[in-house]
Amino acid sequence: MFSQTVLAQVIVNGIGLSSIYILVALGFTLLFGIMRVVNFAHGAFAMLGGYALYFVYGVWGVPYIIAAPAAALAVATSALVLERLVYRHFYQKMFQSMIGLLGLDMVLMFTAVLLWNAHERSVPPAISDILQIGGVIIPADKLLIAAVAMATLLAFYLFTHYTRYGLAMRAAAQDVEIAKAQGVNTATIYRLAFFIAIFMAALAGGFYAQTYALSPLMGERPLMMAFIVVILGGMGSIPGVALGGLLLGFSESFLSTFYGGSTSVFVSFGVVILLLIFRPWGLLGTPEE
């Protein structure tokens, strides 16, 4: 039944979902926008972020506000090895990266199965309190997740608009050859962009595992959500990711509440198919010449 209380609850849930989706999709579109890499292993890094948070916070007891960024930082730092051994060979090779990184995704996923088995685990909530405002139930845990995610997105915005390396990343995303001609060290920018992309994927993966469940197979849904968001907003468009994440998060919250999860998935992919037919460059993307 539609009511102000239910709609307010939908909005609160939509904010939490949108913040997670924007985080995971931002890293995905960052790699594509700068290096033209379609990172099919993105979901696997989100899964590793979930396990990192599980051990750092759930097992070792590090305070959550430290554990969440520290776990993502550990995954991103370790991933630099793969950047050197694997990713570097796929920069500016879009179609080759799709095949190669799909294989990497399988390797990471089944390595996790061998290490931690396929059973689902749960990441303890950061805060167990429940807030109730005018009939709207707000788990404090989800409120903290949304706050940390939004703080991360704000930090990323400030970095890309007001720092030298951030401006260089934006220049490389627009035209890498012109950026080279202007003296931008693209090798350094590639490593930095990769590190930031994996950090955000791992952070989002920790939030996702905490909200739902943790297993080696959990990376498939964050990857699927990242695809939907970047297709909605436009591949390589950072403002498009923000718009796509908001649209997906709020629509999923609304449709799941009133019509069920199956309807939500059906509508999401239906919109993606229509968009690919009539506007394949997305809502805020630009058609390639």
Tell me: the pLDDT tens digits for 149-197? 888 888 888 898 899 888 888 888 777 778 787 788 888 899 999 999 9
Q: Within 13 Å, how many C-alpha atoms sit on residue 234's CB side?
A: 16
Q: What angle do CA 232, 14, 195 make, to 5 degrees?
A: 60
The pLDDT score that the predictor gives to residue 288 is: 60
Residue 88 DSSP class: G
The pLDDT score that the predictor gives to residue 289 is: 54
**Does residue 229 fall inside a structural domain?**
no
Whether the Cβ atoms of residue 39 and residue 97 lie closer than 8 Å to each other: yes
Q: Which residue has the higher pLDDT, 93 or 181?
A: 93
**Does residue 143 fall inside a structural domain?**
yes
Number of domains in the chain: 1
**Does residue 282 fall inside a structural domain?**
no
**Does residue 288 fall inside a structural domain?**
no
Most confident of 44-58, 169-183, 211-225: 44-58
Q: What is the mean pLDDT of residues 199-219?
A: 91
The pLDDT score that the predictor gives to residue 2 is: 59
pLDDT-derived band at 261 (thresholds 50, 70, 90) equals confident
Residue 43 structural domain: 23-219
Closest to 273 (Cα-Cα) out of 239, 228, 241 = 228
Residue 277: Cβ-neighbour burial (10 angstroms; 0-12, 13-18, 19+)? exposed
**Does residue 66 fall inside a structural domain?**
yes
Helix (H, G, I), strand (E, B) or coil at 119: coil
Q: Which residue has the higher pLDDT, 104 or 287?
A: 104
The pLDDT score that the predictor gives to residue 1 is: 55
* pLDDT surpasses 80 at 138: no
Q: What is the mean pLDDT of residues 192-221?
A: 92
The pLDDT score that the predictor gives to residue 271 is: 83
The pLDDT score that the predictor gives to residue 186 is: 84
**Does residue 267 fall inside a structural domain?**
no
Model confidence pTM above 0.85: yes
**Does residue 95 fall inside a structural domain?**
yes
Out of 69-73, 182-186, 253-257, 284-288, which region has the weakest mean confidence (pLDDT)? 284-288
**Does residue 145 fall inside a structural domain?**
yes
Calculate the average pLDDT of the chain. 86
pLDDT-derived band at 33 (thresholds 50, 70, 90) equals confident
pLDDT-derived band at 276 (thresholds 50, 70, 90) equals confident
Q: How many CB atoms lie within 10 A of CB 162?
A: 9
